[in-house]
Amino acid sequence: MIPLIYVLTVSLMMFTVGLYGILTVKGGIRLLISIEILVNSANLNIVAWAVNIADSSGIMFVLLSIAIAAAEAAIGFAIFVALYRQTKGIGLKSLMDLRW
Does residue 99 touch other proteins according to CB under 8 A? Answer: yes
Site for other proteins in 68-97 (CB under 8 A): 92-93, 95-97
Q: Nearest distance from residue 73's CB to other proteins, in Å?
A: 17
Residues that contact other proteins, how many (by CB under 8 A)? 12
Least distance to other proteins, CB of residue 60, Å: 28
Q: List the interface residues with other proteins, window 11-50 (CB under 8 A).
A: 19, 22-24
For residues 2 and 7, what is the distance between their CA atoms, to the nearest angstrom?
Answer: 7
Q: Summarize as ranges the residues that interact with other proteins (CB under 8 A).
A: 19, 22-24, 92-93, 95-100
